[in-house]
Structure 1
């Protein structure tokens, strides 16, 4: 439909949207957003094209977006095709030597390049890299323990080549910003002896946001955001309120590690962290450029 076929009301609605967005463009110009991209938004072709266009637009209005992407379903599909068995412990993929090679191939290869290509086609200038490039994400083996309910003995779980960041080296990202490049990062870390580690994308995004002094950490998920006991969306939370909701059981399951990452980023100086529903078209623009935003925003204050 061309603009000429829009009704006056539709044209006025577009004008109001642009008018509402202007103060946010001014406010966030020159600021860095770290965006964790994954879930349905990455698997759906139409949504992925919208995401690419929205990221290019953020850059165009002066925001510095850094993309950190997951790829669990794509990794699972490749392992299945290659008839490699894979298991999970507490939501983390047990990653042996053979599996970590596949994880790196999928995340740093085809998947990363597809995202880069989409952003470039939408008018942005994106470059793909993994956490191993320039030692962007230095990592160590992730250790987890689990208490046996019968014996009450705590045992160490071996997740293989699953890692956690020990240091982020943001210099390479700073050079990208100076050259108006959008970095698209696969969450693969490098160990002290050159080992490859598979890192949870949420965790990697939180640590990168802290290291670059991001204004916003945005985590795209397959849920509306944080829900109360009546399954209603909570639009805004303070760090203290998040802890209370964890303690009373309102927050559970896969939302807990996401919120722990958000709280870590806030402790390290990130201004706000937002859990967004990546299934909503143009959700990045709605969050950034509208008065009330969408999803759940977490800040360090009770204001």
Structure 2
């Protein structure tokens, strides 16, 4: 989504899928934009196991960027492309209730999801509107937390009983050999992906993606796919073709 051309292509594909009858929920983060704003303030981004370390100052930037900028921009693009998008965050309608991460001493205001209440989404989805959800949430006391967007998407997919969870990335999908782009794993089950993780073949920012796929599958989502969003029309290829465009994980 860093490329404006690819961004427009992804949005057009989302709108097309909505027009042919698919009910879509769009969950987003905003890592590059957050990094840009942190850089303007002289704050160096810091990550631990693929998760952004989020102190109080960083949390303010995360909320401002995800809710105030990226969300509005994506909603505008979808509306211009001919669908009806609705701007939301995990805080709205108690959609997501957060709790501190078990590693909160190291990660700061990075949250896990304690509960999901999708009731605010159902009338939107039933009318084929596209909810666009920024991955921030609050705990029961109102403290805001930075939620990994893939984690948020996985938990929402499970709560909604989604057919598919699709994670678009800006890196290659799951590879048998991380140094060989041609070693794409097209399909794998939970047992296989856990073994790859244990063997060190899945590492860094791919770990939260794989973990959220496994959790969503365990909660009833039929399939979960990790897709390289830099590939033109990868979303359509994954959904509408037998060959697909990424790594599909099955239960």
Does the TM-score normalized on the shorter chain lie above 0.5?
yes
**Structure showing greater Rg:** 1
C-alpha distance in 1 between matches for 2:124 and 2:20: 17
Cα separation, partners in 2 of 1:88 and 1:224, compared to 1, 3 Å: closer
Q: What stretches of structure 2 of length at least 5 have no aligned partner? A: none
**Cα distance in 2 for residues equivalent to 1:267 and 1:78:** 37
Q: Compute the TM-score of the two structures, normalised by the length of structure 2.
A: 0.94
Tell whether the 8 Å contact from 1:141 to 1:163 is kept in structure 2 after alignment.
yes
Distance change >3 Å, CA 93–CA 223, structure 1 → 2? closer
Contact 1:218–1:273 (8 Å) recurs in 2: yes
Q: In structure 2, the residue corresponding to 1:226 is in which secondary structure?
A: coil
Pairwise CA distance, 1:245: 1.6
**Does residue 58 in structure 1 map to residue 9 in structure 2?**
no
Q: Which residue of 1 aligns with 2:130?
A: 182
Query: Matches of 2:191 and 2:47 in 1, distance apart?
Result: 31
8 A contact 1:125–1:182 mirrored in 2: yes
1:129 and 2:77 are equivalent in the alignment:
no
Note if contact 1:107-1:187 (Cα within 8 Å) is conserved in structure 2.
yes
Between the two proteins, the alignment pairs up a number of residues equal to: 248
Q: For residue 112 of structure 1, report the CA deviation from its aligned partner.
A: 0.6
1:86 Cα shift?
4.0
Contact 1:68 1:184 in 2 (8 A): yes
Runs of at least 5 residues in structure 1 that lack an aligned partner in the other structure: 1-41, 145-155
1:24-39 equivalent positions in 2, closer than 5 A? none
Q: Note the aligned Cα RMSD (angstroms).
A: 1.4
Structure 1 partner of 2:243 = 292
Aligned mate of 1:158, from 93, 102, 106: 106
Out of 252-261 and 275-284, give the one that drifted further: 252-261
- Could you say which residue in structure 2 is the equivalent of 1:91? 50
In 2: Cα distance, 1:164 partner to 1:257 partner: 12
Distance 1:198 1:168 in 2: 15
Q: Using a 3 Å threshold, how does the CA distance of structure 1 residues 46 and 166 change in structure 2: closer, same or farther?
A: same
Of residues 191-200 and 222-231 in structure 1, the stretch that sits farther from structure 2 once superposed is 222-231
> Taking structure 1 as the reference length, what is the TM-score of the superposition?
0.79
